[in-house]
Amino acid sequence: MTPPPTPRLYRVAVPVPLPSLFDYLPGPARAGLEPGQRVLVRFGPRKLVGVVMASAETSDLPLERLQPLLAVLDDHEPVVTGEQLRLLRWCAHYYKHPPGEVLFNALPPALRRSEGRLPEPPSQLRLLPAGRERLDEGPGRAPAQHRVLAALADGPLAPGALREKAAATAALVRTVQENGWVASEPRGAAAPVPGQAPAPTGEQARVLEALHNAPDGFACHLLDGVTGSGKTEVYLRLAEHVLGKGRQVLLLVPEIGLTPQLLRRFRSRLGLEPVVSHSGIASGERLEAWAAALRGDAKLLIGTRSALFLPLREPGLIIMDEAHDASFKQQDGFRYSARDVAVKRALELDVPIVLGTATPSLESLNNAAQGRFRHHRLVERATGAPPPAWRVVDLCGQHIDGGLSARALEAIGDTLARREQVLVFLNRRGYAPVLLCHDCGWHADCRFCDAHLTWHRSGRRLHCHHCGERQPAPRFCPECGADALEGAGEGTEQLEQVLSRHFPETDLYRVDRDRVRRKGELEAVVEAVRGGDPCLLVGTQMLAKGHHFPRVTLVVVVNLDQALYSADFRAMERMAQVLVQVAGRAGRADHPGTVILQTHHPEHEGLRTLVREGYGVFAAQLLEERRLAGLPPFAYQATVRAEAPERARVQAFLESAREAWPGAAETVFGPFPAMMERRGGRIRWYLLLQSDNRNTLQSLLDRFVPRLRGLETARRVRWTVDLDPQEF
């Protein structure tokens, strides 16, 4: 095969916050490079890793002003496929984000560095018959070589393990290979034996049939199934089917949904080692996952948001579990929605995608109503357990102990007496969200944020949950000196204390980010609870997702009132999603469950609908309200966010941005301060852009963003564009 001719220049993506690609002369790249190969380039005074996006014959710059590539980093093959490059370019365009940053966000960290290389596929070394003969001859004059052969006498070893066992250098191992005594071969993980699948329930069978009968190719399926209805079981069956055709399955899960339990379930059912990728694993493992996916060896890929960008050679199916989950939207830097990009990727790959959730986002419900998504419902629990019964407890005028009403405490006592388990949910860490002086009214605020400091009593510290600021908690009021400091409101630490006072004999597990930090700690709690002895579980969202606690029959929701009158139009939707998630932990097996919802607003219309008629009816009402108010999903939004230490700079920039907006006056709103105006010492504001047509908004932004870059005031703030913003 003749090497492709060398073009005049290459267009390279570089991780810099600039909207363009950059042209370089081939330099040392003798044979033609392909898109997706990494190179080293000079960029101003720095040397940066870049990714070749295309070759070209002409540049906007005169050729003599272009720099040559400094080095080719991937000399054999691209580390990013053409399909990925197209997807990432689409992302850069849709999200108005610099293409180099979009691309480097997708790469595993090891490949962002110039010394990073794709690893070789895992191999092992095997003793050949000639090597066996040489071994039998005895050490002779080459004892070291003999030692290597002896180390392989009991069976093949990975190169590293062999070097260790035989105390051999890599060169020595190479010598015995070259002598024809030892051969290298690919190492396959020993496949576990696939497990038994339960017969599908009637509902599951209907969904599976609909999916199997769907024509090949792209379709988006919204799998709207109550907690415990067997959605995971449906994923397993679909995955089995697709894997059976030799195709890859990509499963995306929320950040705290990637549990050993889930992996075990996939591994043991499908008889296949899932390749796992998320930002929490070691850089080497993430690189291995990327490489295995690129080779097509990884058949089942499981990961969080960032795994969406893994290479796929033989794609067959994308599944997103808990598709409504907020962690699928990246909230800094390149602010993409993994759900929306996953749908786009499935469309381009022409494969089906399944969005599974018990609480679909209003966006997804609207897509289903419009016929863009196919809506499949699972309304019954797969185990036949009845849905939990709701009890709303009015907190007004009640005696409350550490956040718990007398009725809640009584129900907890009764449940424990029946030797069942209780989960108490409160989405707030620490002892109390405020520390205040009973004499003068002083309270501890963060110096850097518009927020109270949370009192962590056990460590005698005050923490800011927004910027990470930590300081010792004062003994006396810093304002008036009184010994009258008290916590106001409650957090999980306080709940733990109150509950262990009321139920001193009962095992209590607190699960939040302060208590459960290390890998395996949550697992240990989950295992203990699954043991089945009566116990109390106290915790935040960490408890609410993904775990099955078959003997929990009572869930107490301490307080979700904050959301009821929030200025954020998505607050109610999110509150309902959390509530339904948590409630779903109750009574999963043969024990019926109860959910106690404590509130100061039992009369709240939305809350009543949710409790009485369920998420579906509730969401339909919210959707109708959004339609009337002209809010998403009936309008398309973008924000320009800006922050700086001084308010004046932020306002000046956003005022000039408003002037520069090419759309009609009724499509631009603000500037407004962010919900939390000051965070981490920076003042944050935004400008809201809205249109009832996605394409109109896109083309306006295409004209607008270059203008923003040219604004004098833009240099004095940090600013970004956020498409389909989820936070304000």
Can residue 200 be called a binding residue for ligand ADP (CB under 6 A)?
yes
Can residue 467 be called a binding residue for Zn ion (CB under 5 A)?
yes
Q: Which one of Zn ion, ligand ADP, none interacts with residue 437, CB within 5 to 8 A by kind?
A: Zn ion
Can residue 124 be called a binding residue for ligand ADP (CB under 6 A)?
no
Cβ-based neighbours of 1, under 8 Å, separated by 6 or more: none
Q: How far is the CB of 26 from Zn ion (least distance, A)?
A: 50
Q: Which residue in the set 383, 506, 696, 699 belongs to the binding site for ligand ADP (CB under 6 A)?
A: 383
Residues 132 and 167: their CA atoms lie apart, in Å, by 19
Q: How far is the CB of 257 from ligand ADP (least distance, A)?
A: 10
Using the minimum distance from each CB to ligand ADP, give the nearer residue, 376 or 452.
376
Q: How would DSSP label each residue in 617-643?
A: HHHHHHHHHHHHHT-TTSSEEEEEEEE
Q: Which one of Zn ion, ligand ADP, none interacts with residue 442, CB within 5 to 8 A by kind?
A: Zn ion
Q: How far is the CB of 328 from ligand ADP (least distance, A)?
A: 17
Using the minimum distance from each CB to ligand ADP, give the nearer residue, 199 or 665.
199
Using the minimum distance from each CB to ligand ADP, give the nearer residue, 225 or 487.
225
Can residue 225 be called a binding residue for ligand ADP (CB under 6 A)?
yes
The site map against ligand ADP for 473-502 (x = CB under 6 A) is ------------------------------
The single-letter DSSP state of residue 33 is P
Size of the site for ligand ADP (CB under 6 A): 16
Q: Which residue in the set 464, 622, 623, 650 belongs to the binding site for Zn ion (CB under 5 A)?
A: 464
Q: Which 425-444 positions form the footprint of Zn ion (CB under 5 A)?
A: 437, 439-440, 442
Residue written as tokens 């090949």? 216
Q: Which residue in the set 105, 204, 599, 690 belongs to the binding site for ligand ADP (CB under 6 A)?
A: 204
Q: Which one of Zn ion, ligand ADP, none interacts with residue 98, CB within 5 to 8 A by kind?
A: none
Give kind and range of the element (H or E) at residue 267.
Answer: helix 260-270
Q: Which parts of 475-604 fold into alpha helices (H)?
A: 492-502, 521-530, 541-544, 571-583
Q: Which residue in the set 233, 288, 325, 363 belongs to the binding site for ligand ADP (CB under 6 A)?
A: 233
Size of the site for Zn ion (CB under 5 A): 15
Q: Which one of ligand ADP, Zn ion, none interacts with residue 383, CB within 5 to 8 A by kind?
A: ligand ADP
Q: State the virtual CA torsion across 151, 153, 159, 160 in degrees, nearest 10.
A: -40
CA angle 265, 576, 612 (to 5 degrees): 105
Q: Alpha-carbon torsion 460, 462, 465, 469, what sign? A: negative
Interior/surface letters 547-574, b for 16+ CB within 10 angstroms, e for the rest:
bbbbbbbbbbbbbbbebbeeeeebebbb
SS (H, E, C) 649-679: HHHHHHHHHHHHCCCCHHHEEEEEEEEEEEE
143 CB-contact burial (10 Å; exposed 0-12 / middle 13-18 / buried 19+): exposed
Q: How far is the CB of 468 from Zn ion (least distance, A)?
A: 7
Q: Which one of ligand ADP, Zn ion, none interacts with residue 229, CB within 5 to 8 A by kind?
A: ligand ADP
Cβ-based neighbours of 408, under 8 Å, separated by 6 or more: 393, 556, 596, 598
Q: Which one of Zn ion, ligand ADP, none interacts with residue 306, CB within 5 to 8 A by kind?
A: none
Distances (CA, A) of 661 to 95, 212, 673, 689: 17, 48, 19, 9
What three-state secondary structure class fits 683? strand
Q: Which 536-575 positions form the footprint of ligand ADP (CB under 6 A)?
A: 548
In this chain, which stretch among 52-60, 194-202, 521-529, 590-598 interacts with ligand ADP, using CB under 6 A?
194-202
Q: How far is the CB of 31 from ligand ADP (least distance, A)?
A: 50
Can residue 448 be called a binding residue for Zn ion (CB under 5 A)?
yes
Using the minimum distance from each CB to ligand ADP, give the nearer residue, 230 or 402.
230
Q: How far is the CB of 526 from ligand ADP (least distance, A)?
A: 14
Q: Which one of ligand ADP, Zn ion, none interacts with residue 233, CB within 5 to 8 A by kind?
A: ligand ADP
Q: Which residue in the set 133, 164, 414, 479 belongs to the binding site for Zn ion (CB under 5 A)?
A: 479
Distances (CA, A) of 59 to 26, 28, 71, 426: 13, 19, 20, 59
Q: How far is the CB of 224 from ligand ADP (least distance, A)?
A: 10
Q: Which residue in the set 37, 55, 145, 227 belongs to the binding site for ligand ADP (CB under 6 A)?
A: 227
Can residue 324 be called a binding residue for ligand ADP (CB under 6 A)?
no
Q: Which one of Zn ion, ligand ADP, none interacts with residue 398, CB within 5 to 8 A by kind?
A: none
Q: How would DSSP label each residue in 462-479?
A: EE-TTT--EEEPPSS-TT
Both structure tokens of 717: 């703030």
Q: Which residue in the set 28, 139, 188, 198 belongs to the binding site for ligand ADP (CB under 6 A)?
A: 198
Can residue 587 be called a binding residue for ligand ADP (CB under 6 A)?
no
- Give the residues across from 219 on adjacent strands: 352
Can you list the pairs that 461-467 forms with residues at least 24 positions away whose Cβ atoms lie under 8 Å?
Answer: 462/435, 463/430, 465/429, 465/430, 466/676, 466/679, 466/680, 467/679, 467/680, 467/681
Using the minimum distance from each CB to Zn ion, give the nearer residue, 173 or 437.
437
Q: Which residue in the set 112, 163, 221, 231 belongs to the binding site for ligand ADP (CB under 6 A)?
A: 231
Residue type, 666: E
Interior/surface letters 666-689, b for 16+ CB within 10 angstroms, e for the rest:
ebbebbebbeebbbeebbbbbbbb
Distances (CA, A) of 394 to 406, 552, 598: 11, 23, 6
In this chain, which stretch among 82-90, 200-208, 461-469, 491-499 interacts with ligand ADP, using CB under 6 A?
200-208
Residues 241 and 128: their CA atoms lie apart, in Å, by 39
Both structure tokens of 358: 């018990």
Can residue 486 be called a binding residue for Zn ion (CB under 5 A)?
no
Q: By the criterion CB under 6 A, which residues form the site for ligand ADP?
A: 198-201, 204, 225, 227-233, 382-383, 548
Q: By the criterion CB under 5 A, which residues form the site for Zn ion?
A: 437, 439-440, 442, 446, 448-449, 464, 466-467, 469, 477, 479-480, 482
